[in-house]
Structure 1
Amino acid sequence: MANIHESLTELVGHTPLVRLHGYEKLHGLKAHLLAKVEYFNPIGSIKDRIVLRIIEDAEKAGKIIPGKTTLIEYTSGNTGIAVSAIGAMKGYKVRIYLQDGVSQERLQVMKAFGAEVTKISEVPELQDALKATNNDFVAATNILKQHIRDRQAAGDSIYFVDQMINPLNPAAHHDTTGKEIWEDTEGNLAAVVAAVGTAGTIRGISDAIHEKSDKVKIIAVEPPADDKKLTGIHNFTEVPVDRVPPSLKENNEPKKGIYDEVFVGDPEGAFKAARDVARTDGVLVGNSSGAALWGATRIANRPEFEGKNIVVIFPDTGLRYLSTDLFKD
Structure 2
Amino acid sequence: MSEKIYDSLIQLVGKTPLVRLHGYEKLHGLKAHLLAKVEYFNPIGSIKDRIVLRIIEDAEREGKISPEKTTLIEYTSGNTGIAVSAIGAMKGYKVKIYLQDGTSQERFDIMKAFGADVTRISDVPEIQDALKTTNNDFVAATNILKQHIRDRQAAGENIFFVDQMLNPLNAAAHHDTTGREIWDDTDGNLSAVVASVGTAGTTRGISDYVKGKNPDVKIFAVEPSADDKYLTGIHNFTDVPDERVPINIREKIYDEVFVADKEGAFAAAQEVAKTDGILVGISSGAALWGALQIASRPEYEGKKIVVVFPDTGLRYLSTDLFKG
TM-score calculated relative to the size of structure 1: 0.98
Query: Which amino acid letter does the alignment assign opposite residue 264 of structure 2?
Result: G
Alignment of 1:1-329 (within 5 A): 1-249=2-250, 255-256=251-252, 258-329=253-324
Cα distance between partner residues in 1 of 2:296 and 2:142: 39
Matched residue SS, 1:292:
helix
Give the whole-Å Cα distance in 2 for the aligned partners of 1:194 and 1:59.
30
Q: CA RMSD in A?
A: 0.5
Distance 1:145 1:44 in 2: 27
- 2:54 and 2:33 mapped to 1: Cα distance? 32
SS at the partner of 1:62? coil
Query: For the residues of structure 2 that align with 1:6 and 1:180, how far apart are their CA atoms?
Result: 23
Structure 1 residue 66 displacement after superposition:
0.2
CA deviation profile, 1:260-300 (whole Å, cap 9, x unmatched): 00001121111000000000000000010000000000110
Greater shift after overlay, 160-169 or 264-273?
Answer: 264-273
User: What SS is found at the alignment partner of 2:176?
Assistant: helix
Q: Percent identity?
A: 80
Deviations 1:146-191 (A, max 9, x none): 1001111111100000000000000000000000000000011010
Structure 1 residue 238: Cα displacement = 1.4
Offset of residue 72 of structure 1: 0.1
Q: The residue matched to 2:322 in structure 1 has which SS?
A: coil
**Amino acid of the structure 2 residue aligned with 1:101:** G
Residues in 2 aligned to 1:280 and 1:238: alpha-carbon distance in whole angstroms: 34
Q: CA deviation at 1:303?
A: 1.4
Task: Report the Cα offset of residue 225 of structure 1.
Answer: 1.4
What's the offset of the Cα at 1:43? 0.1
Letter in structure 1 aligned against 2:273: A
Conserved? CA contact 2:194–2:306, under 8 Å: yes
> C-alpha separation between the residues in 2 aligned to 1:149 and 1:293?
39
Work out the CA distance in 2 between the residues paired with 1:266 and 1:305: 24
Give the counterpart letter for 1:107 in structure 2.
Answer: F
- For the residue of structure 2 that corresponds to 1:279, the secondary structure is helix
3-state DSSP class of the match of 1:173? Answer: helix
Partner amino acid, structure 2, of 1:42: P
Which SS does the other structure have where 1:15 is aligned?
coil
Name the aligned partner's letter for residue 50 of structure 2. Answer: R
Query: TM-score under structure 2 normalisation?
Result: 0.99
Partner of 1:252: none
Match for 2:30: what amino acid?
L
Unaligned residue ranges in structure 1 (runs of 5+): 250-254
How far is 1:301 from its partner? Answer: 1.7
State the one-letter code of the partner of 2:60: E
Q: How far apart are the structure 2 equivalents of 1:166 and 1:25?
A: 40
- TM-aligned CA deviation for residue 193 of structure 1: 0.3
- Distance in 2, matches of 1:287 and 1:301, equals 21
Q: What letter matches 2:54 in structure 1?
A: R
- The separation in 1 between residues aligned to 2:62 and 2:78, in whole angstroms, is 27
Displacement after TM superposition at 1:304 (Å) = 1.2
Distance 2:169 2:294 in 1: 31
Give the counterpart letter for 1:37 in structure 2. V
Structure 1 runs of 4+ aligned residues shifted over 3 Å read none
Q: Which string of whole-angstrom CA distances, capped at 9 and with x for unpartnered residues, describes residues 76-99 of structure 1?
A: 000000000000000000000001
Q: Is the 8 A contact 2:226 2:240 kept in 1?
A: no
| 2:233 counterpart SS class | coil
Residues 86-120 of structure 1 deviation map (CA, whole Å, 9 limit, x = unaligned) = 00000000000001110000000000000000010
Q: Secondary structure at the match of 1:95?
A: strand
**Alpha-carbon deviation of 1:217?**
0.5
Is 2:35–2:306's contact at 8 Å kept on the other side of the alignment?
A: yes
Q: What's the CA shift for 1:9?
A: 0.3
